[in-house]
Amino acid sequence: MKKGMLIVATCLIALNGYSQDWGWGDAGGSSSSGGGSGRTSSSGSSSTGSAGGTSGAGAGAAASGSSTPTLAVPTIGTHYDDPPAFHRETPFTTNDGRPGIDDAVVVPYPFLREADLKFRRRIWRRIDCRQKMNRSFTWPKNPVTQIIYEAATKGLVRAYHTDSLNRIKTPEECYKEGSKLVVTQIQNWRNPEDNEDLVDTAYYDIFKWDKIVRFEIMEDWLFDYKHGELRPRIIAIAPMYEEKFPNGQTYELPLFWIKMDDLRPTLAKSEVFNRYNDVMRISWDDLFNHYRLFDSYIVKTTDWDDRYLNMRTEFQQDGLATLLEAENIKNDLFIFEHDLWEF
């Protein structure tokens, strides 16, 4: 009997050493760690289950109409001191030492003294990205709509509520702007067999940069006595979105306003499509502030009531008259510059 027990013990010891030699012990450890990961997964699934229960309760509450869902906004913060991000197409040629778009810097405006400024007029313009001349605004490789929107929603530049540029808008507020609460009907989850049993539910439609189709720019036309020329200078830019009011009318409102001087370092490092030559890619800073390769129409000018043209009494419900008035404002600037040199 004792010999039999000794033989069994010897065999168990040998098997234990054999399993350790061939990694069975590691497998056992993996199984143990797998068991640990299984416990973690179990806790994770339990937490997920609780989260699912919470979301289900929220859905039920929303369905019953007892509460309204809230828009979850991530904490973004400000990154004003971060270097500008590159927005360019990956080059496929060898760099021969010439400066590229990564080395681009902002070309400053000509020095202007206040004593030399003899004339100034502020104008607001709308840029429609769907027009043929503005197709480069939605260039799939580097759309300026994404550059400007992410610059504000990621806290890379300061955004403002209005064109007065005196009240800062946080990145979180810019992220929420344009999002809409959508109320619709879905099948009652308590009664899945009845397709006609519908309940109300609500969710937020998050605004995305690809929904931007118009921009509004605020610019000053300046006559410099020193240089003797009438030149525009863009002060701020704002992407637009449509908002439908309870009276049934739809208005275009700005998501936020950004100073052009704050945005220029980022635009200078961002390529834009050149329809004439693929080798020479200009930057968005060149397109806006130097070449002005965009089509636009005037919607507002400085006036005592500070209203848009389509909000004035004589131009309401008459889009053609509004466009003709915008052309008159542009023609007045042309005549003013022409008369400066007419003797």
**Three-state SS at 217:** strand
Query: If pLDDT is split at 50, 70 and 90, which confidence band does 342 have?
Result: low
Distance CA 343, CA 332 (A): 18
Structural domain includes residue 57: no
Range of the domain at 150: 101-161+211-302
Is the model more confident about 63 or about 102? 102
In a domain, 249, yes or no: yes
> Do residues 287 and 293 touch, judged by C-beta distance below 8 A?
yes
Whether residue 42 is contained in a domain is answered as: no
Q: Is the pLDDT of residue 94 over 80?
A: no
Q: What does the alpha-carbon distance between residue 237 and residue 127 come to, in Å, rounded to a whole number?
A: 10
Q: For 24-33, 73-82, 166-175, which range has the lowest pLDDT when averaged over its residues?
A: 24-33
Which position has the token pair 């220029």?
264
Mean pLDDT of all residues belonging to the chain: 78
Mean pLDDT, residues 217-222: 96
Give pLDDT, residue 215: 96
Per-residue pLDDT averaged across 314-337, rounded?
89
pLDDT at 269 over 60: yes
Identify the pLDDT of residue 267: 93
**More confident: 226 or 324:** 324
Tell me which of 91 and 276 has the higher pLDDT: 276
**Quick check: is 264 in a domain?**
yes
Q: pLDDT digit string (tens) for 21-62?
A: 443 434 334 333 333 443 333 334 333 343 334 334 444 444
pTM score above 0.85: no
Cβ-count burial 92-115 (b if 16+ within 10 Å, e if not):
eeeeeeeeebeebebeeeeeeeee
Question: Is residue 105 very low, low, confident or very high in pLDDT (cuts 50, 70, 90)?
Answer: confident
How much is the pLDDT for 331?
94
pLDDT of residue 339: 86
**pLDDT recorded at residue 75:** 84
Q: Which pLDDT score is estimated for 216? A: 96
| pLDDT band, residue 18 (cuts 50/70/90) | very low
Neighbours of 2 (CB within 10 A): 6
Q: Does residue 220 register a pLDDT over 90? A: yes
Indicate the number of domains in the chain.
1
pLDDT at 93: 56
Tell me if 286 is assigned to some domain.
yes
Under DSSP, the state recorded for 305 is S
Distance CA 160, CA 144 (A): 19
Cα-atom radius of gyration of the chain, to the nearest Å? 32
